[in-house]
Amino acid sequence: MSPKKQEFAPMPDKNGYFGKYGGQYIPENLKQAMDDIDHAYEEIIRRQDFQDELDYLFKYYVGRPSPIYHCRRLSAQCGGAQIYLKREDLNHTGAHKINHCLGEALLAKYMNKTKVIAETGAGQHGVALATACALVGIKCEIHMGEIDIQKEHPNVCKMKILGADLISVTRGTKTLKDAVDSAFEEYLRNPKDFFYAIGSVVGPHPFPKMVRDFQSIVGREAREQFLELTGGLPDAVLACVGGGSNAMGIFTAFLDDENVRLIGVEPAGHGLETGEHAASISKGTEGVIHGFRCYLMQNEKGEPLPVYSIASGLDYPGVGPQHCYLKDIERVEYVTIDDKECLDAVMTLSQREGIIPALESAHAVAYAMKIAGDLPREQTLLVNLSGRGDKDLDFIMKVLDIN
Ligand SMILES: *Cc1c(COP(=O)(O)O)cnc(C)c1O
């Protein structure tokens, strides 16, 4: 199967807006840098040699296409709709992030940038980016909070072995927020020669568009594979939503299929009523963060609130602008799953199917399990399994007190 060539989704508009969301809320000097990236991106994706290189790497390096898989035992337990998984957990490096990191690294190289910079929280974005930079042959600098460095030992080792420069951030809370500030300051020293690689469909235009386009391979493959395997389209497609890249990756191919329900699953953390969650679309209000407009968890001054999820890849106070638009036009339903339901899904999928999901992806699995029982057996649910649980093993053992 050869995935179709890049399609040019009609959104965003030329200023980077999805309805009223997105845009570029940034200083003038950065606007020039973002416009340069936008132009280089539009140029590169029209080039056959670039498309061929990306296709080649997706196939022989990442291992695409990732399969779709019918969870027969899990579906039988839920007693209703049939649950299928798109196995992004089987990609090289264990998650969907490699799809856009490869695209970004190739673009940075094409633009003759001297260094790719990013922040990382739990280290997933850092590892995927360090991998892509090693492959493409470009310098990579990852900023990470000192506390996160202590917590995420295996990912720290991976980034170092892959040749990335790891900057330990010791200011403030020594976690993700300070790592963002530190990485951004370094970028601002020389936006002409450096490339800031954003890790999701967030940030100023053109990043929400670009990251979505690089991830859209997931949905193009899944739609074709599902048709081939079942003879029809799924009744619903589900994905977890942090910044929203894996969700946009699978949703994009189904946006025009009116009969396919699209469901984005946000983290309810300790419960929406406790305030300790990261359900930005479900509970946030319009605001600006990191250079773009979106639904945001914020205080009266418009400052982002601390957010929480058991899955560190989901605890972002904002969310991709296209998701905000898709919520307003009611094309996508946004729902929530709390920590407990997430952990239950991790154990159930592991013990029914022999697949240990990432805590992030388990949110989408949990919602599929929750609704499957009330749906007829002929219905089908396709879940984007964005990553594998290897990174979460120690944590799961500890919180569930498994010996
Ligand atoms: C980072 C991550 C996510 C969250 O990011 P999105 O941009 O919302 O997709 C989800 N799943 C896994 C496995 C991740 O590593």
Q: In what order do the strands lie in the sheet with 165-169?
A: 165-169, 139-145, 115-120, 194-196
Which one of 124, 155, 202 would you pick to mutate in the ligand 1 pocket, going by the greatest count of ligand atoms within 8 A of its CB?
A: 124
387 lines ligand 1 (CB under 6 A): yes
Report CA(243)–ligand 1 centroid distance (Å): 7
Q: How far apart are the C-alpha atoms of 36 and 266, rounded to whole Å?
A: 33
Residue 173 confidence (pLDDT): 85
Instruction: Enter the pTM of the model.
Output: 0.96
pLDDT for 9: 54
Q: What is residue 1's predicted lDDT score, i.e. its pLDDT?
A: 37
**Best substitution site from 92, 96, 263, 281 to test ligand 1's pocket, by max atoms within 8 Å of Cβ?**
96
Tokens standing for residue 393: 């093993």
Which parts of the chain have pLDDT scores under 70? 1-9
- At 16-35, the pLDDT tens digits run 999 999 999 999 989 999 99
What is the number of residues in the chain?
Answer: 403
Q: What is the CA radius of gyration of the chain?
A: 20
What is residue 306's predicted lDDT score, i.e. its pLDDT?
A: 92
CA-nearest residue, atom 5 of ligand 1: 242
Is the beta carbon of 243 within 6 A of some atom in ligand 1? yes
Q: According to the model, what pLDDT value does residue 2 have?
A: 40
| Domains of the chain (ranges, CATH numbers) | 17-57+97-207 (3.40.50.1100), 64-95+216-399 (3.40.50.1100)
pLDDT at 5: 42
pLDDT of residue 230: 98
Q: Which atom of ligand 1 is nearest to the CA of 248?
A: 9
Give the C-alpha separation, 184 to 107, whole Å. Answer: 19
Active site residues: 71, 96
Which ligand 1 atom is the nearest neighbour of the CA of 200? 7
Please report, in angstroms and rounded to a whole number, the separation of the first and last CA atoms in the chain.
44
Ligand 1 binding pocket includes 118 (Cβ within 6 Å): no
207-215 and 97-110 helices cross at what angle (nearest 10)?
120
Return the ligand 1 atom nearest residue 387 CA.
13
Q: What is the pLDDT of residue 79?
A: 97
